[in-house]
Copies of this chain bind each other. A is one copy, B any other.
Amino acid sequence: MVQEQSRSEKTRELIINSARKVFLEKGYAETSTRNIADVAGITQPAMYHHFNDKEAVYLEVVNRVGKDVREVIGQGVLKPRLQPLNRIDEITKNLFDIHPKGVGIFIHESYAHLSPAGQRKLGMLYRMYYLDPLTGYFNLPEVKLRKEVLPDEAADILIYSLNAMFSSFYRIGGQSISTRDKGKLSLRLILFGIAEEPDEQ
């Protein structure tokens, strides 16, 4: 069942892996097709033999990265020995191992630069690989959400809030949360909020 990889397939994989590095680091708009070709060690037009356009390369990369994301979230959910808070802490740690500059620069900031069809596809991949697996975590019986929050809303909010925590801009206003322990502390703030809840609103 192991198929020999043709030269074309090898080059295609090389392009995808090179593009993965650059897109994860700089996002869609700031990545040029020459950047990708340079990392791959081919000329820029050669890329167009393997892909229709830049968008097709990006969406294939999102598909590959997304599968890894789904995998690490799924592994984190299925660790019954760990407390729920330690499990979600491990999930976010693995999420940022995959996205060195955060999820936002890779997914959210790319959206506006895609064609309408590309935007629909990106939305689909984001839901399938990021939101749905995290919804699985918040659906665990031992994870207690605040009563007005639905599991898929919690997943969405968590990813967006994490974006914020790991933004490089986070430091420009002076020393801030990112200079302290980014992991556990940030996560507690997102999960449990920043303020004391008033007795009755």
Interface residues of A (CB under 8 A from B): 29-30, 83-85, 107-109, 111-112, 119-120, 122-123, 126-127, 131, 143-146, 148-149, 152-154, 156-158, 160-161, 163-165, 167-170, 172-174, 176-177, 185, 188-198, 201
Contacts and interface: CB of A to CB of B under 8 A. Distances in A.
A15 to B, nearest CB: 25
Stoichiometry, as copies per complex, reads 2
Given A143-B195, A146-B196, A192-B197, A126 B172 contact: yes
A160 B161 contact: yes
A29 B148 CA distance: 38
A152 B173 CA distance: 10
19 contacts: A107-B169, A111-B169, A119-B172, A123-B173, A126-B173, A144-B198, A145-B196, A146-B189, A149-B189, A153-B176, A153-B177, A154-B195, A156-B170, A157-B161, A157-B177, A161-B161, A161-B164, A189-B193, A190-B193
A178 B158 CA distance: 14
Contacts of A120: 172
Given A144-B196, A194-B191, A152 B168 contact: no
The list of the 5 closest CB pairs from A to B, nearest first, reads A160-B164, A123-B172, A193-B193, A144-B196, A192-B193
Nearest to A189: B157
